[in-house]
Structure 1
Amino acid sequence: MDLFFQPIKGANMKSRNMMLATAIVAAFGLAGCNSNRAPDNGGTDSHHTETRATGGNTKTTGRVCQLLQDDNPNRGGRKVVYRCNGRAVLASDEAKRLLNPSVPVSFGGSGSVVQSNLITRQAANATGKSDEAACERAFINAAHKFQATAQSRNANRVSNFHSYYNRKILRGGQYDCEVGTFHARVVMRGDIAR
């Protein structure tokens, strides 16, 4: 008779069954730990890892936006700040298509001011877009909001349009844009005038 299949009697059988149960639980526990590990660089996450490893952000072309503050990996969520060229955005095809040409937006002062130092916080969906495209769209949304406000208050232009991100004034057509996990955000300040 084979020794492996011999019946075990008494306390010896209980201890062997207990050891077998412990071994099974340990095997399942180790298998669970292995499945919770982060994917290696050979997996589908390699593009994201490569983007971070290069030190530069491949999510912008550098044509309109430059990286100002990179993401802190120890912080929950994503927060990247760019400095962008508002003049280039206003000259873009998308801005020409979405903004009202009868209510011009300018970075300098012009016209008789109807209301000054108005502030808008505008966002754009960043999902599936480059950071640069999301920042451009957030800026266009802010300009559009100012245009709508100007029209509703019997004004016909937006002047002195500038960035007011973190309550810091940034003039000359530049603006700061914060990109999070899902949205790009800008804070703009300006005047509406006639």
Structure 2
Amino acid sequence: MSGLIEVELKARVDDVGHVRAELERLAPGVEETYHDTYYDLPDEALTARDQELRVRTVANDAGSRSLLTFKTAPVEEASGSRPEHETELADPAVADTVLKALGAVELISLRKLCRNHRFTAENREVLATLVEVPEIDGTYLEVETLAPAHEVDAGLSTIRTILARLGIGEGDLTNETYTGAVAAARQRDIG
């Protein structure tokens, strides 16, 4: 995938049972575990430019697949929606070797337990994911769609409609990153 914007909103979920039941009404969920490794340059130049470089392995009952993803800086600040460039990998270990040979360093690795629901809303393909990260408290909901740059606002409107249907309000939205939350949790564990 290239040239499209990942239009996404993320929220903290208080009533997980309600949200899960509503999502199941929209589309049956699939349990998947994500193993994410984020990379940066030694001087953290990617982080400074608000860019992300990630290798993700997605595992479920059917097997696993790995993806290399590069996200540029957000084009819409409030939501953090950003261009995403992604390709499937035959072997994530080879990608790790190549990235490190090119000077990248591992920034952080983490595991996400996800329940993915794929459906169509307002003529858009949507992915709604309930997420738990074992190292941090709480359950999150990510709702995303892909859109060309001129349709980011329309994509966000669709997502807000879905969130409202699920009982998620503007006050539940968060821009907190899993990488930041996991790093902070690990730092607390050390201290």
Smaller-chain TM-score range? Answer: under 0.3
* Structure of greater Rg: 1
- With structure 1 as the length reference, what TM-score do the two structures score? 0.21
User: How high is the TM-score relative to the length of structure 2?
Assistant: 0.21
Structure with the largest fraction of helix = 1
Relative contact order, higher structure (CA 8 A, sep 6+): 2
